[in-house]
Amino acid sequence: MKFTMLGSGTSTGVPLIGCSCPTCRSSDPRDKRLRPSLLVESSTTTVVVDTSADFRLQMLRHNVKKIDAVVFTHHHFDHIGGFDDVRAFNFLLRKALPIYLMQETMENLHRTFIYAFSDTGQKGGGVPVVHHHIIDASPFVIGDIEFIPIPMMHGRMRVNGYRIGNFAYCTDTNFISEESLALLHNLDVLILDALRYEPHSTHFNVEQAVTMAQRIGAKATYFTHIAHNIKHAELAEQLPSHIYVGYDGLQLEL
């Protein structure tokens, strides 16, 4: 299994438009952060977690020519904004693309991209064609990859993290219940939300993320959904052993 962090940034991306802070002016490529997304690959199956607002660029950057499905964590725009570019895979594969998502995510996807799900009179250059699978907390299988949903809270919103073997992806959260923590035992790798140094109402800040990472106890934890308040090199120097700062293009093989 190979996991690629397609984007490690927050909803605005980094650099932030119009900002001249040290991170946004940084020459360190690890401080250039697209919106959060993950590529999951086995020997036979390729899945993208979230069609981020930078989905097209992420697919081109990593030369992805085939995906078997998209799995969504939730419906915020930075996680669904690239949905229209799914149609490129419709052109390539000549079939509908399976998507796996919660009911609320499906309803919001429908509202945001109504032309893809309703007859609006004309299709222009085409619309994304998908076959949707509604999920909740039960495991599901795509090809030879099993996904175990990890229910979490993102402020007052229910979102899903996912466990895939001994790997887990838990972005956009500030609360993981005891029941969900029980699904995160014995991990080799955890990718975890760590927005900024200051407290936030819907995301773990760095201090909270470190505490949660140590409680989960994965062999290695990488932070994601990182805002422009954080420079990669500076945070990396402060973190405890086995906790790291994620970055765009990071590849992990298990």
Predicted confidence (pLDDT) per residue in 97-118, tens digit: 999 999 999 999 999 999 999 8
Lowest mean pLDDT among 77-91, 118-132, 221-235: 118-132
pLDDT at 123 over 80: no
Region 165-176 average pLDDT: 98
How much is the pLDDT for 191?
Answer: 99
How much is the pLDDT for 126?
Answer: 87
Edge-to-edge strand list for the sheet holding 251-253: 130-134, 97-101, 69-71, 46-49, 37-41, 2-7, 251-253
Q: How confident is the model at residue 7 (pLDDT cuts 50, 70, 90)?
A: very high
Residue 217, sorted as left (phi over 0), alpha (psi -120 to 50) or beta, turns out to be left
Separation CA 250–CA 236 (nearest Å): 15
Structure token pair of residue 177: 């219940």
How much is the pLDDT for 119?
Answer: 80
Q: What's the whole-model pTM score?
A: 0.97
Predicted confidence (pLDDT) per residue in 8-66, tens digit: 999 999 999 999 999 999 999 999 999 999 999 999 999 999 999 999 999 999 999 99
How many CA atoms are closer than 13 Å to the CA of 166, on its beta-carbon side? 11
**Burial (0-12, 13-18, 19+ Cβ within 10 Å), 83:** buried
User: Following DSSP, what letter does each residue of 206-231 receive, concatenated?
Assistant: HHHHHHHHHHHT-SEEEEESB-TT--
The CATH classification number of 2-249 equals 3.60.15.10
How much is the pLDDT for 120?
Answer: 72
